[in-house]
């Protein structure tokens, strides 16, 4: 049974894809496709993969998680599943933690190595979406405000805008953690609203279900909504500076240019073959795929012997 991860780097696209998979669960099962989403991932199935503080050692937490996963995967195989798709936007780390760290997914390598361990030491494919950094950070910050997130100050915004951490670094860490997996990178701007085409790229499923294929869920709250949340908690709504029509744009024009330039560099790297680490698909029709084979020794693995290490 093939194991395909869709970690997702954006809540809107992940939620829409998960909804599509749920609504089409029966026809997909009939074609050998099983699905685990946040409901399974956060209901105890993988508890302990990322160790929790407490009396149980990290190694024992991981051992128990491996046992639970092995049992459930055996049930899927017995039911005729040919592939398992796992989708959860928090697999690689949460956007709220990115905001606290002021950089993109710094723990992705260690987290994904742990998930690989829990899934029996094998992940066949990863389909990972990226988005222009100015839009990504604006969306992440907008989602944080209804969850009582603080309005970032000028120093924090400048740190986010000028951090050297880019999608290239994120993808490189991902490839090091999963040296045997095929990594496909999609553009959020092209694929967020077409989950059925994303599914085709994931597993080559001919004629995927069209039901609920264009539901675009969990979009970022607009500026008026965000100001309403601030007013409800007794804060000044006018804190949301650099705002444009509809959405909130927290960065200055210069900061947005910097972030856009970094995204352009990421795309140039991907289009040039990404050092053999990943392939880029820009077009939902699948016509613009760039793939360069990895040179011998250009990919290095990451040890699975990490039970005693802790993740933030």
Percent of the chain scoring above 70 in pLDDT: 82
> What pLDDT is attached to residue 205?
81
Q: Which of 11-25, 181-195, 211-225 has the highest mean pLDDT?
A: 181-195
> What pLDDT is attached to residue 302?
38
pTM of the predicted structure, to 2 decimals: 0.83
Q: Does domain 2-133+164-219+263-290 have CATH number 2.40.10?
A: no
Q: What is the pLDDT of residues 34-68, one digit of tens each?
A: 999 988 887 788 888 988 888 899 999 999 999 99
Across residues 15-28, what is the average pLDDT? 90
Domain residue ranges in the chain? 2-133+164-219+263-290
DSSP the chain: -EEEEE--S-HHHHHHHHHHHHHTHHHHHHTTEEEE-HHHIIIIITTTSSPPSSSS-HHHHHHHHHHHHHHHHHHHHHTT-SEEEEE-TTTT--HHHHHHHTSS-TTHHHHHHHHHHHTTS---EEEEEE--HHHHHHHHHHHHGGGTPPPP-HHHHHHHHH-S--HHHHHHHHHHH-TTSEEEEEEHHHHTT-HHHHHHHHH--SS---TTTT---SPPP-HHHHHHHHHHTT--GGG--S--SSS---S-HHHHHHHHHHHHHHHHHHHTTGGGT-EEE-STTS--EE--PPPTT-S----S--TT----
Q: What is the pLDDT of residues 96-139, one digit of tens each?
A: 999 999 999 999 999 999 999 999 998 999 999 999 999 999 98
As a whole number, the mean pLDDT across the chain is 83
Indicate if the pLDDT at residue 312 is higher than 50: no
Give phi and psi for 3, each to the nearest 5: -115, 120
Distance CA 257, CA 271 (A): 21
100-109, 197-206, 300-309, range with the lowest pLDDT? 300-309
Which residues lie closer than 8 Å to 215 by C-beta, 6 or more apart? 16, 19, 20
> What pLDDT is attached to residue 125?
96
Q: Band of the pLDDT at 219, cuts 50, 70, 90?
A: low
Across residues 155-166, what is the average pLDDT? 95
Q: Band of the pLDDT at 1, cuts 50, 70, 90?
A: very high
């Amino acid at each position: 049974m093939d194991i395909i991860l869709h970690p997702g780097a954006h809540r809107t696209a992940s939620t829409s894809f998960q909804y599509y998979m749920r609504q089409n669960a029966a026809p997909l099962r009939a074609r050998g496709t099983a699905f685990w989403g946040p409901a399974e991932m956060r209901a105890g199935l993988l508890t302990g993969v990322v160790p929790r503080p407490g009396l149980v050692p990290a190694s024992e937490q991981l051992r128990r998680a491996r046992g639970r996963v092995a049992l459930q995967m055996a049930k899927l195989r017995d039911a005729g599943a040919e592939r398992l798709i796992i989708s959860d936007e928090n697999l690689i780390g949460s956007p709220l933690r990115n905001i606290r760290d002021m950089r993109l997914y710094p723990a992705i390598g260690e987290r994904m190595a742990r998930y690989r361990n829990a899934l029996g030491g094998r992940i066949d494919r990863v389909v990972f979406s990226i988005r222009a950094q100015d839009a990504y950070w604006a969306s992440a910050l907008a989602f944080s405000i209804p969850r009582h997130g603080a309005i970032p100050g000028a120093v924090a915004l400048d740190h986010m805008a000028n951090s050297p951490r880019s999608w290239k670094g994120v993808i490189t860490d991902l490839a090091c953690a999963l040296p045997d997996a095929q990594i496909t990178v999609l553009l959020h701007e092209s694929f967020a609203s077409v989950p059925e085409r994303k599914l085709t790229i994931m597993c080559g499923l001919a004629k995927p279900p069209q039901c609920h294929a264009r539901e675009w869920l969990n979009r970022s709250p607009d500026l008026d909504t965000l100001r309403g949340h601030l007013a409800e908690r007794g804060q000044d709504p006018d804190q949301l500076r650099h705002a444009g029509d509809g959405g909130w744009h927290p960065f200055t024009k210069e900061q947005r240019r910097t972030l856009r330039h970094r995204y352009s560099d990421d795309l140039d790297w991907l289009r040039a073959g990404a050092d053999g680490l990943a392939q880029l698909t820009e077009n939902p029709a699948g016509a613009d795929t760039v793939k360069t084979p990895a040179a011998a020794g250009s990919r290095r693995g990451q040890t699975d012997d990490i039970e005693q290490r802790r993740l933030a």
